[in-house]
Amino acid sequence: MDEASLRENAIRLAFRGDTKAFEEFCRTVREGVPEADCAVLRGSAVTGFRHSDNAPFDADGPGTSDLDLTLVGAEVLRYYILTGYFIPGIHTRPLSDKDPDIAPDLVPLRERLMAMVRRPVNIQASRDWFQVMRGELFDQPYLTLFGSVSEE
């Protein structure tokens, strides 16, 4: 899928067709985490279907699908505690209801984003090259919200 299709999906599915709400979400992330080189949205909000079983976005009812936000860059990794990593110093687990304590300073941003979209928002962090690898090698599409994903 190209960037325009991913953006169209995200606005239609996660932001109920409201481009201004999408832009406000992007602005809120950018202002909330100025250290981020980039932020991307991944998962069913951009593809339209769940990876695990191909169920459509919000298959379990309105507001049931989450948004998978990834902050990209070396500096954003400092928000996560050591046990909050899949790969220390490279790629974190998502700050989510399952792991609400792994990035305490990001909790207020997460709560604000969830209030905006009225659904769960999970926040992960990765180095640039790892995000490139996930997208290109593992064919995990993502929509760039701001900045640019580039290899370090």
Query: 9-68 pLDDT, tens per residue?
Result: 999 999 999 999 999 999 999 999 999 999 999 999 999 998 889 999 999 999 999 999
* List of residues 6+ apart from 70 with CB closer than 8 A: 39, 40, 41, 42, 123, 124, 125, 126, 131, 142
Confirm whether 152 is domain-assigned: no
Dihedral, 86, 74, 123, 83 alpha carbons, nearest 10 = 40
Domains held by the chain: number: 1
Confirm whether 107 is domain-assigned: yes
**Residue-range definition of the domain harbouring residue 59:** 3-147
Confirm whether 7 is domain-assigned: yes
Whole-model pTM over 0.85: yes
Q: What is the pLDDT of residue 1?
A: 83
Q: Check pLDDT > 50 for residue 94.
A: yes
